[in-house]
Amino acid sequence: MKPEIKSNSTYENLTSTEMGKLWVVYQGNTMAKCVLRYYLQHVEDKDIEKVIENALNLSETLLEKVAAIFTRANFPVPIGLTEDDVNLDAPRLFSDEFYLHYLKYTSKSGMSIYAIAIPIMIRNDIREFFINAFDSTADLIKEVNDVLLKKGFLPIPPSIPVPDQIDFIKKQDYLNGFFGNVRSLHALEIAHLYDNIENNIASKALLIGFSQVAKDEQVKKFLLRGKELSNRHIETSAQQLHKNNLPSPTLLDDLVSTTTVAPFSDKLMITHKIDMFSMKIRSYANAASLNGRRDIGGMYAKFLKDVALYVEDGANIAIDNGWMEQPPKAADRNDLAKKRD
């Protein structure tokens, strides 16, 4: 007998997947709201200002919708990052151009969260929320790319020859990477190498700015370590492209100002890098899954280990300082069994 399928009422209890995905969307967009409000204080280019305003409006809309869902479900609305975590009067930390690269970098992360959420949502209203969030973020990335292209800031991925004909792989040495006959990179390997370099270049510039303004010495050291880690990953990935006479994206380090006045709290900066490095795990794993050479597979395995250790150390700093909110969790039945009335 098939189980009875309940209605998709807006007021049904939330499933664990719905709780988790909505919770992380709320947390992430409280951070985005803080960052984008500060960016709007220091932007001169009107085209870029409009993009930032649209991004901020999207974050505020998502926050309102998630808060409404949580309130109807009697679920405590998370705190996330607040106005206490941003100093709107701080001097400019990044150039106008950087804002576009930042939005492309962070929007890809948001789209990843929304895309994975869509097929695992049960309630129709929440599934529609994630579909709309995905579509709206895709529209934002299109706008970002259009302005990057208009301003001459958009990195163009390498060109490769169009195949003459359909072909099939005939030998196992196609998988070689460390020894023997090593083939040239295929299109998917190039695409993900280029994309991951782009992400790390934006991440590195952000870390340069964050490390300049961090107040706590432990936080500063953590951010500087992240900068060096991102730089190593950039150089290693770029070498794979350069060996095949393919270009890699240029650094954005010069788009960071020299101010040492903090626009963001140490809490926001640690949270930001924990979140974005966590997204690198997904990005590297996706790249590894579409790779066909042993050397590149080994490179991504090393990258994943680097990032996992870095995220764990960041989480320890956040926990020690009381900055990390706890996501909703399953009941601990063993603990409940120990309790007495």
Give the pLDDT confidence of 275-319 residue by residue, as tens digits: 999 999 999 999 999 999 999 999 999 999 999 999 999 999 999
Contact residues for 256 (Cβ-Cβ < 8 A; gap 6+): 93, 94, 95, 98, 205, 208, 209, 212
pLDDT computed for residue 2 by the predictor = 43
pLDDT reading at 341 higher than 90: no
pLDDT reading at 87 higher than 60: yes
- Residues found in the chain: 341
Q: What percent of the chain stands above pLDDT 70? A: 96
Contact residues for 217 (Cβ-Cβ < 8 A; gap 6+): none
pLDDT band at residue 4 under the 50/70/90 scheme: very low
C-alpha closest to that of 233 among 207, 275, 201: 201
pLDDT reading at 9 higher than 70: no
User: Token match 């208009």: residue?
Assistant: 150
| CB distance 99 to 205 below 8 Å | no
C-alpha closest to that of 266 among 310, 221, 326: 221
Residue 300 main-chain phi, psi, to 5 deg:
-70, -35
Contact residues for 111 (Cβ-Cβ < 8 A; gap 6+): 134, 137, 138, 141
pLDDT computed for residue 337 by the predictor = 79
Segment 59-86 shows an average pLDDT of 97
- Better-predicted residue by pLDDT, 10 or 129: 129
pLDDT computed for residue 3 by the predictor = 39
Lowest mean pLDDT among 4-8, 18-22, 167-171: 4-8
Lowest mean pLDDT among 2-6, 36-40, 195-199, 264-268: 2-6
Contact residues for 162 (Cβ-Cβ < 8 A; gap 6+): none
User: Token match 């200002």: residue?
Assistant: 49
- The predicted-structure confidence for 132-148, as pLDDT tens digits, reads as follows 999 999 999 999 999 99
- Better-predicted residue by pLDDT, 25 or 328: 25
Segment 6-35 shows an average pLDDT of 86
Which stretches within the chain are classed as H helix? 16-41, 46-72, 96-117, 124-151, 187-213, 217-243, 266-289, 294-320, 333-338
pLDDT reading at 42 higher than 70: yes
**Residue-averaged pLDDT of the chain:** 94
Q: Is 94 helix (H, G, I), strand (E, B) or coil?
A: strand
Alpha carbons 45 and 48: distance in angstroms, whole number: 5
Q: What pTM, to 2 d.p., does this model score? A: 0.93
pLDDT computed for residue 340 by the predictor = 64
- Better-predicted residue by pLDDT, 4 or 99: 99
Half-sphere exposure of 236 (CA within 13 A, CB side): 17
Segment 323-336 shows an average pLDDT of 86
Going along the chain from its start, the domains and CATH numbers come out as: 16-151 (1.20.1260.10), 173-320 (1.20.1260.10)
pLDDT computed for residue 7 by the predictor = 45
Contact residues for 251 (Cβ-Cβ < 8 A; gap 6+): 201, 204, 205, 234
pLDDT reading at 10 higher than 80: no
- The predicted-structure confidence for 218-271, as pLDDT tens digits, reads as follows 999 999 999 999 999 999 999 999 999 999 999 999 999 999 999 999 999 999
